[in-house]
Chain A
Amino acid sequence: MGVVLEPYIYEGGMYKHGLILELLEDLGGYLVQKTPAGSEVTLVMLIPKEDVHLVQDLAKKLLGTLTKAPLTGTEIAVVSPTLASHHLPHSACDVAEYLRRGGSNTNMIGLARGMGRKVSLSEDYERKLINEHDVAVFSFGVFSDCIINKKPKLFKGIKVPIVATGGPELNTEDVPGADMYVGGIGRIAHRMRKEGELNSLDVLNEKVGEMIENKREKLAKDPLAVIPARVMQEIERQISDIQNVLSPAPITLQLDGLRIKLPYEDYHKNIENLEFDEGVVLSEIADVMPSKMKNYILVKIKPESEVGYSI
C-alpha cells in the first residue's frame, strides 16, 4: 500500500461535478462524503498525493475550490454538559460546525447530568459512547475555577484524546486530564462571529488537527490491515441497502475503523462476510460490533502486527 492519500474538500456547482468523481475513481482516490445543497455540492475526498494537481486543475476549470481538510476521515464527539439552552445552539453547535468545515464528522453528545460543579457526573453508557470516537471535544463555561477543579471529573474513563474548551485562557497543564485546552470559547449566548471568537475556533481546529496528526503518526508505525476508506468503498459496492440510508454520512470514517448506519441485527453478518479482491473477508481483519449509538454497526480494523498482513 504505497499510495499516500491526502484529504481535500471540493466546493462548487452541481453542474459537471460528476467529472470530479470520475477522475477521482480513475486516480484510485475515495469519496468520503457528498453533500448536495441546492445547486451547490460539497465533496469530501481522499486523493492520492501525487495526483492532487490533476484534481486541482479540473476544479479550477469547473470554477470550484479545492481546499485541504486535515480532519477528513475522523469522527469527533462534541460533548456538552447537557443539552440545555445554556450550551446550545451556541457555543457547542458552533464548535461542531467549525470542526465539520475541517472535514470531520461530528456528533453532539449532551450528558444527562453533566451540569454544575459538585453534582456533575457522567454515566458508563456515555463514556463508552464517547470512546467510540477519535477525539472528544468538551465544551465548558466561563469560570476557570470550575474548569480546573470541578469539570475534569467528566474526563474519567475517557480513553480517546480529550480537547477541553472554555472561556478563560489557561494552560493545558492547568486542566488535569485534558490533552489540550483551547480558551476563548466558553459559554456564549450568541452566534460566534466576532473576530476574536472565530480566531479561537480556528485555533481549536488547528489543535484538533495536531492531535489527529499525532494519532495518524502512531497508527502509521503499525499500519492497519486495510484502510477504512477501502472498506467503505467495498460496503457501497456489495451492500446495496446502504444507498437507502438517509443519514448525511451513512458510513462514517474513523482513523481506525468506521461506523455503518445500518441495524446491527440485520446486517452484521453481511458486513462480517464482506469480501475483498485479495480473497480476505472483513471479519478476519477487523472486529465488527454493535455501536452504542442507536443500533448501528461499529467496525474497528486490526493493525497489521496482529493480522500478519495488510491489503
Chain B
Amino acid sequence: MEPLETFLVEAPLQSESEQYRQILKDVISDMVLAQSIGRIKVVIRPEESLFQMAMVLRGGLSPVKTSDFADVNVGEFGKNEVVIKINNEKYLSQLLKILWDKYGRLNVRQPERKTVAVKTENPMDKISNIENIIVDDPRNTLKKRVVDMAVRVAPEGFRVRYHSLKGDNFIFVASEDAMKQEWIEEAHQMLDELTDKED
C-alpha cells in the first residue's frame, strides 16, 4: 500500500470538500502521519451534525530492540559488566530508563556519551537479555497520534464520539447529538470499501 493512495473527503459542496481536505492534509503533516496512513475517507454532513472517518494504516512497523541500535558485549576482563555501545542516540533515554528499572540505578553507568555499562553477576548470560529488550514500539505511539489526529480534524463542537481501532483499521465517528447506530454501521461500511481494494 502506498502512503495516502486513497484520500477522499465528502461534504455537501465541492468547495467545502476541498477546504476540508486541506485541513486534513495540514493536520496529517503536522502529526507526521503521511507515511503511516494508507487509505482514508471522510464524510461530513453538517446538517446532521455528523463527521465520519475511516482509515487504513500502513503496517510494517516493528518494535525497536536494543540490538537494532546498539552493540552489546561483555566488559573488560575482571569487571562483571555488560557494555552497550550505542549507534543511534534517538533511543538512548528510553533504554536508560528501562535499564535503571531493571538493574537499579547504581548498577548502570554511562562512562561516556555513547557507552552504557551495566554491572551484573553473569555478564555472558545477560547479553541476549539486554539485546532483546523492546525499547520502543512505534505502533503504540502511532495509535496515540492517530487518535489525536482524529480529534483535531473533527469539527470542534462534535464531542460525542465513537472510535474503533482494530489492527490497522481505524474508524472514527463524531457528532454533537446522541450517537446513532446507523452512523457507526455506515462508517464500518466505508472501511469495508477501503479494505476491499486490497487484493
Contacts and interface: CB of A to CB of B under 8 A. Distances in A.
Interface of A: 81-82, 84-87, 115-120, 141-146, 167-169, 186-190
B15 interface: yes
Contact of B26 (A117, A141, A142, A189): A189
Given A81-B156, A145-B12, A168-B13, A118 B26 contact: no
A116 B12 CA distance: 17
Contacts of A187: 19, 23
A165 B47 CA distance: 20
Interface in B1-18: 11-13, 15-16
B176 interface: yes
Interface residues of B, number: 24
Interface of B: 11-13, 15-16, 19-20, 22-23, 26-27, 30, 44, 46-47, 49, 152, 155-159, 176-177
Contacts of B159: 116
Nearest to B27: A189
Given A82-B156, A84-B156, A145-B46, A119 B176 contact: yes
Contacts of A142: 11, 16, 19-20, 23
Given A143-B11, A145-B46, A189-B30, A120 B19 contact: no
A118 B176 contact: yes
Residue in A119, A167, A189 whose Cβ sees the most chain B Cβ within 10 Å: A189
Given A167-B19, A168-B13, A117 B46 contact: yes
Contact of B49 (A85, A117, A188, A190): A117
Nearest to B28: A189
A119 B23 contact: no
Contacts of A81: 156-157
B23 A189 contact: yes
Nearest to A147: B46
B46 A186 contact: no
A167 B176 contact: no
B16 A188 contact: no
A105 B23 CA distance: 29
Given A116-B156, A117-B157, A189-B30, A144 B16 contact: yes
A105 B49 CA distance: 36
Contacts of B22: 188-190
